[in-house]
Amino acid sequence: VRSERVVYATGDDAAVVRADGVAVTSIDAQVEGVHFELATHSPADVGHKALGAALSDLAAMGARPGEAFVALGVPASFGDDASLELVESMERLAERTGTTIAGGDVTAAPALTVAVTVIGWAGGERDLAYRDGARAGHLVGVTGRLGASAAGLLLLQGVEADLPEGERDALLARHRRPEPLLEAGSALAGAVVGAMIDVSDGIATDARHLAEQSGVRIEIELGRLPLAEGVEDPQLAATVGEDYELLFTAPPEFVAPAGVEITWIGTAQEGSGLALTHSGAPLELSGYEH
Amino acid sequence: VRSERVVYATGDDAAVVRADGVAVTSIDAQVEGVHFELATHSPADVGHKALGAALSDLAAMGARPGEAFVALGVPASFGDDASLELVESMERLAERTGTTIAGGDVTAAPALTVAVTVIGWAGGERDLAYRDGARAGHLVGVTGRLGASAAGLLLLQGVEADLPEGERDALLARHRRPEPLLEAGSALAGAVVGAMIDVSDGIATDARHLAEQSGVRIEIELGRLPLAEGVEDPQLAATVGEDYELLFTAPPEFVAPAGVEITWIGTAQEGSGLALTHSGAPLELSGYEH
């Protein structure tokens, strides 16, 4: 896929892209042994996850996806077929999301490393959502269902669970092939949400980012978290990330855009920091601060 | 340094930059054990080299530098002081070249890895120089002096050479801290050169890129290569890269921009491929094809 705005892609020293409005750019790296294991992730999983995680940052801003630039570090043991599978998987996600892979760099490396820079576009800076837009009186909402990626990771790590095969596969897929919520992000930013962030580190950590950047206190009731099929523990959903759902705040009169599933899980208030409650009682989560 | 066009840099999911004209983007990764050794390169050298090599791609297009995004993979053995030294060195080069480091990602990694995406800007696609602009009848020119980086690498590898201390230091510095020729690149693109590329792989390989992309035959006379102080072998200058000088073609009536040192080293003709001569005789360089 190659958009109209791309004048020159690969083949020259740099890609040339017609620009207007604002460019929205993020870089994200995934390293074997740190973010994934080749024992449990196929080359196609790795390619999808690396681009998907990067694009999720554009979703969190409400930007339209534009171009991706990929630096691939490949160990000698990772064959040409595996590299091709990785790149083709990335190309499929790029095509499906309207992203042009417009440049890259391939080098040797001791561990498989995929660094992806994504550039998205918007008409102007006011068309985007930021982490600092939460105000006292806002409600806190989240898209979709939480905890599936964390549960999938536990399954990969060998934790026993009595689950129907289909549910198990769905949890594993959610961990291995995260889906960037570009349309939901764009719809939410267009509906003028307060603050927005993608859930990459877990609700607890990501809500704290919103509270700190916005200068408000955020309270979240764990009993309200929308849990994925097969997930029963809201603490899992709150403390482990990579769901790549969108966490946002909005004034009470906010109307959810059509087609975006939203659950209200808390409120923003005067003050600072994050408070988690469970059935209304204050909660200490061990190890959720980082 | 933070330019006027940067609306939001680090602190959100992505950086937001006001855009116009064309965006010129390149990604480049440097990996310990592949592109440098920590035994011979300080953390400051690594930071400078990673950003410098990436910015050189913008110089080769004639783009104004804009933003840089850095993915840093850091081994446990690489301390916080070393990371800080690396980043500060990168910041110094960024400031000196008018580049804003607008985003980053730091992860653990088995080997020190620095992937840098640079975004430059130009008024329009016609303000840039490309690899495919060489025409039969053009002269082939190069900026500055060649071979210093290759000679510096040989010194690091323990090759004995009877050189004055100052000359030795200059060769080592040239290898460790390559300087992106952003002003010369911009001046040359503004003087409407034919094709342009930076000398990252050696004159032989890079001239071949221009010949192939432009559909012309390029002849280069090795005896004409401008050699750096302390370099005597033109084959070294022709076959080893990382000089980051600019190789370009231009019509005979071309006038060099003020302040840019240029040497004419060959011609572009009807045909295809690259021909190297030495004192007018055809030359086979062992191992220069890759």
Q: Look at residue B9 in the predicted model and tell me its pLDDT.
A: 79
Q: In B, which residues are within 8 Å of A73 by CB distance?
A: 29, 31, 113
User: Please, which pLDDT band fits residue A11 given cuts at 50, 70 and 90?
Assistant: confident
Residue B278 · residue B221 · CB < 8 Å: yes
Cβ of A110 within 8 Å of Cβ of B33? The answer is: yes
Cβ of B34 within 8 Å of Cβ of A58? The answer is: no
Q: In A, which residues are within 8 Å of B5 by CB distance?
A: none
Distances (CA, A) of A221 to A279, B29, B256: 7, 43, 69
User: Please, which pLDDT band fits residue B290 given cuts at 50, 70 and 90?
Assistant: very low
Pairing of strands A273-278, A281-282: antiparallel
Q: Within a 10 A sphere around the Cβ of B275, how many other Cβ atoms?
A: 17
Q: Look at residue A272 in the predicted model and tell me its pLDDT.
A: 96
CA dist B230 and B253 (Å) reads 33
Distance spanning both ends of chain B, measured CA to CA: 39
Q: Look at residue A287 in the predicted model and tell me its pLDDT.
A: 46
Closest chain B residue to A59 measured between Cα atoms?
Answer: B13
Partner residue facing B109 (CB), from A57, A70, A113: A113
pLDDT for B61-103, tens place per residue? 999 999 999 999 999 999 999 999 999 999 999 999 999 999 9
Residue B257 has pLDDT above 80, yes or no: yes
Cβ of B13 within 8 Å of Cβ of A108? The answer is: no
Closest chain A residue to B28 measured between Cα atoms?
Answer: A105
Residue A58 has pLDDT above 80, yes or no: yes
Higher per-residue pLDDT: B71 or B10: B71
Q: Look at residue A160 in the predicted model and tell me its pLDDT.
A: 87
pLDDT over 90 for what percent of chain B?
A: 83
Signed CA dihedral, A73, B26, B12, A207: sign only? negative
Q: In A, which residues are within 8 Å of B13 by CB distance?
A: 26, 57-58, 60-61, 131, 197-198
Q: Look at residue A9 in the predicted model and tell me its pLDDT.
A: 79
Size of interface A-B (CB pairs under 8 A): 200
Average pLDDT over residues A53-59: 97
Helix (H, G, I), strand (E, B) or coil at B22: strand
Tokens encoding B136: 């039969």
Residue A1 has pLDDT above 80, yes or no: no
pLDDT for B29-70, tens place per residue? 999 999 999 999 999 999 999 999 999 999 999 999 999 999
Cβ of A108 within 8 Å of Cβ of B34? The answer is: yes
Residue B5 has pLDDT above 90, yes or no: no
Pick the residue of B5, B16, B58 with the most A CBs within 10 A to test the interface with A by mutation: B16
Partnered with residue A264 across adjacent β-strands are A141
Identify which of B204, B201, B180, B195 has the alpha carbon closest to the alpha carbon of residue B273: B204
Q: Within a 10 A sphere around the Cβ of A281, how many other Cβ atoms?
A: 8
Residue B134 has pLDDT above 60, yes or no: yes
Half-sphere exposure of B114 (CA within 13 A, CB side): 24
- When the pLDDT of each residue in chain A is averaged and rounded to a whole number, the result is 93
User: Please, which pLDDT band fits residue A288 given cuts at 50, 70 and 90?
Assistant: very low
The residue with tokens 């090759």 is: B159
Residue B142 has pLDDT above 70, yes or no: yes
CA dist A112 and B286 (Å) reads 32
User: Who's near A53: CB < 8 A, 6+ residues apart?
Assistant: A28, A30, A116, A178, A180, A200, A242, A244
CA dist B191 and A20 (Å) reads 26
Q: Within a 10 A sphere around the Cβ of B269, how many other Cβ atoms?
A: 17
Average pLDDT over residues B246-273: 96
Average pLDDT over residues A22-50: 97
Pick the residue of A4, A18, A22, A27 with the most B CBs within 10 A to test the interface with B by mutation: A27
Residue B52 · residue B93 · CB < 8 Å: yes
Closest chain A residue to B21 measured between Cα atoms?
Answer: A19
Cβ of B107 within 8 Å of Cβ of A31? The answer is: yes
Residue B287 has pLDDT above 90, yes or no: no
DSSP state of A32: B
User: Please, which pLDDT band fits residue B286 given cuts at 50, 70 and 90?
Assistant: low
Average pLDDT over residues A106-116: 97
Partner residue facing A24 (CB), from B14, B27, B111: B14
Q: In B, which residues are within 8 Å of A113 by CB distance?
A: 29, 31, 73, 109, 113, 115
Identify which of B120, B126, B33, B48 has the alpha carbon closest to the alpha carbon of residue B91: B48
Residue A251 has pLDDT above 70, yes or no: yes
User: Please, which pLDDT band fits residue A289 given cuts at 50, 70 and 90?
Assistant: very low
Distance spanning both ends of chain A, measured CA to CA: 39
Q: Look at residue A5 in the predicted model and tell me its pLDDT.
A: 85
Average pLDDT over residues B197-223: 96
Identify which of A70, A69, A58, A50 has the alpha carbon closest to the alpha carbon of residue A22: A58
User: Please, which pLDDT band fits residue B160 given cuts at 50, 70 and 90?
Assistant: confident
Higher per-residue pLDDT: B12 or A41: A41
Average pLDDT over residues A143-148: 95
Residue A115 has pLDDT above 50, yes or no: yes
Cβ of A18 within 8 Å of Cβ of B125? The answer is: yes
Cβ of A24 within 8 Å of Cβ of B15? The answer is: yes
Q: Look at residue A36 in the predicted model and tell me its pLDDT.
A: 95
DSSP state of A41: S
Average pLDDT over residues B203-210: 96
Average pLDDT over residues B161-167: 90
pLDDT over 70 for what percent of chain A?
A: 97
- The nearest CA of chain A is from the CA of B247 a distance in Å of 12
Q: Within a 10 A sphere around the Cβ of A5, how many other Cβ atoms?
A: 17
Q: Where are the alpha helices (DSSP H) in chain A?
A: 43-61, 80-97, 148-156, 165-176, 182-190, 203-214, 234-239
Residue B107 has pLDDT above 90, yes or no: yes
- When the pLDDT of each residue in chain B is averaged and rounded to a whole number, the result is 93
Q: Is the pTM for the entire model greater than 0.90?
A: yes
Closest chain B residue to A12 measured between Cα atoms?
Answer: B131
Tokens encoding A76: 């000698």
User: Who's near B235: CB < 8 A, 6+ residues apart?
Assistant: B222, B285
Average pLDDT over residues B251-264: 95
Average pLDDT over residues A158-166: 90
Residue B289 has pLDDT above 60, yes or no: no
Pick the residue of A117, A201, A246 with the most B CBs within 10 A to test the interface with B by mutation: A117
Residue A257 has pLDDT above 70, yes or no: yes
User: Please, which pLDDT band fits residue A2 given cuts at 50, 70 and 90?
Assistant: low
